[in-house]
Amino acid sequence: MKLFRTLISLEEALRTLSSYAKGTEIEEIRFEAALNRVLAEDVVSLIDSPPFDRAAMDGYAIRGEDSFGAAPRNPVFLKINRRVEEEIGAGECVPIATGMPVPKGSNAVVMLEYTKELGDTLEIFKPVTPGKNVSFKGEDVKKGEAVLKAGKLLQAHDIGMLASLFKITVKVYKRAKIGIISTGDELIDPTLQQPEQEQRHQKIADANSYVLAALTQKVAVPYRMGIVRDNYDGIKNALRSALEGDCEGLLVSGGSSVGKRDFLADAVEELGEIVFHGVAIRPGEPTGFGIVNNKPVFVLPGYPVATISAFELLVRPFLYAMHGVTEERSKIFAVASKKISSAVGRTDFVRVKVIRTGEGHYVEPLRVSGSGILSSMTKSDGFVVIAENKEGVAEGERVAVTEYFAL
Amino acid sequence: MKLFRTLISLEEALRTLSSYAKGTEIEEIRFEAALNRVLAEDVVSLIDSPPFDRAAMDGYAIRGEDSFGAAPRNPVFLKINRRVEEEIGAGECVPIATGMPVPKGSNAVVMLEYTKELGDTLEIFKPVTPGKNVSFKGEDVKKGEAVLKAGKLLQAHDIGMLASLFKITVKVYKRAKIGIISTGDELIDPTLQQPEQEQRHQKIADANSYVLAALTQKVAVPYRMGIVRDNYDGIKNALRSALEGDCEGLLVSGGSSVGKRDFLADAVEELGEIVFHGVAIRPGEPTGFGIVNNKPVFVLPGYPVATISAFELLVRPFLYAMHGVTEERSKIFAVASKKISSAVGRTDFVRVKVIRTGEGHYVEPLRVSGSGILSSMTKSDGFVVIAENKEGVAEGERVAVTEYFAL
């Protein structure tokens, strides 16, 4: 049995983790499959976009100068040339639709609604300045320009940009395969085909591996590896075989608190190295981190809420670093409608309800006792992290909230 | 040709859309596949969670009263009973690990670190009050309690809750299949196997269908149906066959502005009904909406930025309503570091950069000319919607920003 009474601060843990986070491999994939992937190259445009001067409106391409002085009662008359390929001369115009190349010689598009066709003559009722209603070549993106930078999480409009630049494949960080193991004699898998009624009532469903898989899934590829009993050799063998396989990291939960069953950290230590064990966060204090076969292993608490807290505070930043994510998650600011208690010397992960009013957002902490209360998460809209140097949050104080909703 | 000079307000368009949004079918899927799906039933727990009184710490189950008065120099001695199944009596204790059922007769767990075993006798150095370190049956969720409500977007912890309640399948809104068509003589698909160099420089890559697919994908199932030329019959036939198939809705972009090529709205009108055409939003003004074969059809602008604006302001709320989403997207509040221009009478969709400082968030609008500038999206971190009754945003004014990052 190993005691870990020397807790390190969250800050120190994160600093340590960042020194261990190695970027995943880089793979080249089709641009349309790259939504929510992290770019691993600077995308430099090989073309101008638009590739030619094009009409930004439906109407007639003209020399803007030719329309000067036009008015509803004093129209300008131009000769309609219907051969778009030709260069137009003074006093001429060409019918044109949005997006089409403007013919040589023209420099503006007069909108359809300010014109009237009279056979081969066009009446124009409003002047346009040269350059008006034309998208010029390279106006959006110039050839040679770095359009998207490595580290960017690709959004829908970035996919559109790649399409518009004919950039068919992109280099992105490969999503790492992360093994997930739950440990504990008390656990059964809730999806067992014929769970015996009696067994159900004697056992606890393994929720952790499903929660961890769902959390991991947004960044990496989770691989649930089942439940291992609280048996030192069994645990050691499970960890060893998981890490000899193709997993690039491992999240093991359960049995990480001080106790007779504290086998996980010992097994990691025997197979490799425990880098830290015990972080001043609440819940999630008994979280540990180690390296086995050059691969990262997180030892996470057995209770789901503690595991989620440890994931959000420690594992998520590590996975982001592995996957080249440089951007920050969006946080809203809200006013605490009630005091939120917290102790100096530890970082608190507080589940909150968000109340939206006309004047702004308010948060209310969910009262909870213990990290076994998963309903404290399901009833919350987000969480607030209270830094270890803060003695709680006063009523009326402003806090940053990470909300869950993301569609 | 049809002019649509009577623009309706965004508010009116949204009101109209909400009256046309019918919920998708409901399907029953495995709980672990339900992340980011919208619940279509209230989940009522059939069990208590935890299902029994269990230890919240590693240590010894005792009658709390037996430990009163214990101190480091004045330990209390209890008899160790190693048969967990038995009811314990006064003066007895049972070794217990976190998560295990506490034996009958006990009401507290004394933590391992405050004890010492001496053969069959336990020394206790600190008292515990009855109830301490025990998670009581039903403490998290009571049998019969509605744990998750219909309309909830399922998060990782909700998946964990379903696991812990042995709720193996859940009813969710089926993701609707949404057809996507781009129209325009100027377009080519950027992924064509052998794009001829010359053709590339004469044509514009179809970005819209990829953008719309990426935007749609978070809620529904996008189905890209290719590019249709600017030919009235061709467009009409494409719309008809798309809507006779299994698509539950259609997004058609291009050619929706006033002009000779304004075939889309006419085709929708001929095949069914145009409900509105022209909304006071910028960009995205020529957006239309209709019903064909009882299915919703959005007519979207040809320019990607205008299409994205119309998607965010009109299509997204419609898809949310179809899919039972009742929650709101998270918005941050930020201070405008520069004036943002906007005209009264239209709703503006403004791309902004977000600057995070110690004192708060600031936004800066991206200068743009025209909705052909996709780089105004790729350079932005989010967008601000300026309501039609507002004449721009003053420097220093607070605005709500929707950020894109969502991992």
| Interchain contact, B377 vs A160, CB within 8 Å | yes
Q: Poorest-confidence range of A73-77, A211-215, A358-362, B351-355?
A: A358-362
Q: Among residues of chain A, what percentage have pLDDT more than 70?
A: 94
Q: Is residue A3 part of a domain?
A: no
Give the one of A162, A200, A206 whose C-beta lies nearest to B163's C-beta. Answer: A206
Residues B232 and B287 both lie in one domain: yes
Higher pLDDT, A381 or A97: A381
- Per-residue CA distances from B33 to B36, B39, B239, B343 (Å): 9, 12, 33, 45
| Residue A108's CATH number | 2.170.190.11
- Per-residue CA distances from A243 to A1, A19, A225, A250, A300 (Å): 24, 20, 11, 7, 17
Distance from CA of A97 to the nearest CA of B (A): 7
Q: Is the pLDDT of residue A2 over 50?
A: no
Higher pLDDT, A173 or B112: A173
The predicted structure's pLDDT at residue B398: 92
Average pLDDT over residues A373-392: 93
| Interchain contact, B112 vs A320, CB within 8 Å | no
Higher pLDDT, B47 or B198: B47
Q: Is the pLDDT of residue B126 over 70?
A: yes
Give the one of B3, B140, B330 whose C-beta lies nearest to A332's C-beta. Answer: B330
Is the Cβ of B188 closer than 8 Å to some Cβ of chain A? Answer: no
Residues B44 and B95 both lie in one domain: no
Q: Is the pLDDT of residue A72 over 70?
A: yes
Give the one of A156, A186, A260 whose C-beta lies nearest to B58's C-beta. Answer: A260
Is the Cβ of A180 closer than 8 Å to some Cβ of chain B? Answer: no
Chain A residue with Cα closest to B110: A259
Average pLDDT over residues A189-214: 80
Q: Is residue A5 part of a domain?
A: no
Q: Poorest-confidence range of A336-350, B87-101, B255-269?
A: B255-269
When scoring A4, A149, A155, A383 by the number of chain B Cβ atoms within 10 A, the one with the most, hence best to mutate, is A155
Tell me the pLDDT tens digit for each residue of B12-49.
999 999 999 999 999 999 999 999 999 999 999 999 98
Is the Cβ of A365 closer than 8 Å to some Cβ of chain B? Answer: no
Average pLDDT over residues A193-203: 60
Q: Is the pLDDT of residue A211 over 60?
A: yes
Average pLDDT over residues B359-385: 87
Q: Is the pLDDT of residue B292 over 70?
A: yes
Q: What CA dihedral angle connects B249, B255, B256 and B260, to 10 degrees?
A: -140
| Interchain contact, B161 vs A375, CB within 8 Å | yes
Q: Is the pLDDT of residue B328 over 90?
A: no
The predicted structure's pLDDT at residue A113: 86
| Residue A149's CATH number | 3.90.105.10
Average pLDDT over residues B202-216: 93
Q: pLDDT-derived band of residue B282, with 50, 70 and 90 as boundaries?
A: very high
Listed residues A322, A344, A361: the one ending a domain? A322
The predicted structure's pLDDT at residue A406: 82
| Interchain contact, A97 vs B230, CB within 8 Å | yes
The predicted structure's pLDDT at residue B97: 81
The predicted structure's pLDDT at residue B194: 55
The predicted structure's pLDDT at residue A258: 52
C-alpha A88/C-alpha A95 separation (Å) is 11
Query: And the tokens for A132?
Result: 């008006």
Q: Is the pLDDT of residue A257 over 60?
A: no
The predicted structure's pLDDT at residue B333: 86
Q: pLDDT-derived band of residue B201, with 50, 70 and 90 as boundaries?
A: low
Record the pTM.
Answer: 0.91
Tell which B residues from 262 to 321 touch A, by Cβ distance under 8 Å.
262, 302-305, 308, 320
Average pLDDT over residues A280-292: 94
| Interchain contact, A211 vs B156, CB within 8 Å | yes
- The answer to whether A172 and A39 are in contact (CB under 8 A) is yes
**Strands, E, within A232-280: which ranges?**
249-253, 273-277
Q: Is the pLDDT of residue B93 over 60?
A: yes
Is the Cβ of B129 closer than 8 Å to some Cβ of chain A? Answer: no
Average pLDDT over residues B276-286: 94
Q: Is residue A4 part of a domain?
A: no
Q: Is residue B327 part of a domain?
A: no
Tell me the pLDDT tens digit for each residue of A120-138.
999 999 999 999 999 899 9
SS3 A341: coil
Average pLDDT over residues A94-118: 90
Residues B94 and B121 both lie in one domain: yes
C-alpha A51/C-alpha A48 separation (Å) is 5
Listed residues A122, A148, A173: the one ending a domain? A173
Average pLDDT over residues B288-294: 96
Residues A196 and A302 both lie in one domain: yes
The predicted structure's pLDDT at residue A332: 87
Residues A229 and A219 both lie in one domain: yes
| Interchain contact, B330 vs A406, CB within 8 Å | yes
| Residue A353's CATH number | 2.40.340.10
Distance from CA of A89 to the nearest CA of B (A): 22
Q: What is the mean pLDDT of chain A?
A: 91
Q: pLDDT-derived band of residue B258, with 50, 70 and 90 as boundaries?
A: low
Q: Is the pLDDT of residue A385 over 50?
A: yes
The predicted structure's pLDDT at residue A327: 86
The predicted structure's pLDDT at residue A6: 81
Cα B395 from chain centroid (whole Å): 32
Is the Cβ of B104 closer than 8 Å to some Cβ of chain A? Answer: no
| Interchain contact, A257 vs B57, CB within 8 Å | yes
The predicted structure's pLDDT at residue B162: 97
Chain B residue with Cα closest to A169: B191
Tell which A residues from 48 to 67 touch B, by Cβ distance under 8 Å.
49-52, 54, 56-59
Q: Is residue A88 part of a domain?
A: yes
| Interchain contact, A99 vs B165, CB within 8 Å | no
Nearest to B52 by CA among A195, A198, A377, A375: A198
- Which residues on B lie below 8 Å from A258 (Cβ)? 58, 112-113
Domain that holds residue A350: 332-403
Residues B256 and B126 both lie in one domain: no
Residues B166 and B181 both lie in one domain: no
Listed residues B148, B173, B198: the one ending a domain? B173
**For residue A181, which amino acid is it?**
I
- Which residues on B lie below 8 Å from A150 (Cβ)? none
The domain total for chain A is 4
Chain A residue with Cα closest to B376: A140
Average pLDDT over residues B162-169: 95
Q: Poorest-confidence range of B2-6, B146-150, B353-357?
A: B2-6
Residues B293 and B336 both lie in one domain: no
- The answer to whether A209 and A224 are in contact (CB under 8 A) is yes
| Interchain contact, B211 vs A99, CB within 8 Å | no
- Which residues on A lie below 8 Å from B159 (Cβ)? 210-211, 214
- Which residues on B lie below 8 Å from A383 (Cβ)? none
Residues A228 and A277 both lie in one domain: yes
Q: Is the pLDDT of residue A195 over 70?
A: no
Residues A123 and A215 both lie in one domain: no
Nearest to B402 by CA among A153, A320, A405, A219: A405
- Per-residue CA distances from B335 to B5, B164, B359, B381, B394 (Å): 35, 43, 11, 14, 9
Q: Is residue B270 part of a domain?
A: yes
Residues B130 and B119 both lie in one domain: yes
- Per-residue CA distances from A153 to A239, A265, A369 (Å): 32, 34, 37
Among A23-37, A176-190, A351-365, the range with the most confident prediction by mean pLDDT is A23-37
The predicted structure's pLDDT at residue B257: 54
Average pLDDT over residues A271-280: 96
- The answer to whether A272 and A297 are in contact (CB under 8 A) is yes
Q: Is residue B4 part of a domain?
A: no
Nearest to B288 by CA among B259, B319, B257: B257
- Which residues on A lie below 8 Å from B332 (Cβ)? 330-333
Q: pLDDT-derived band of residue A1, with 50, 70 and 90 as boundaries?
A: very low
Give the one of A52, A217, A406 whose C-beta lies nearest to B406's C-beta. Answer: A406
The predicted structure's pLDDT at residue A377: 94
- Which residues on B lie below 8 Å from A153 (Cβ)? 404-405, 407
Q: Is residue A122 part of a domain?
A: yes
* ipTM for this prediction: 0.91
Distance from CA of B161 to the nearest CA of A (A): 7
Number of H helices, E strands in chain A: 9, 26
Chain A residue with Cα closest to B224: A32
Contacts of B73 (CB under 8 A, 6+ apart): none
C-alpha B119/C-alpha A354 separation (Å) is 53
Q: Is the pLDDT of residue A3 over 50?
A: no
Q: pLDDT-derived band of residue B1, with 50, 70 and 90 as boundaries?
A: very low
Q: Among residues of chain B, what percentage have pLDDT more than 90?
A: 76
| Interchain contact, B97 vs A185, CB within 8 Å | yes
Residues B104 and B164 both lie in one domain: no
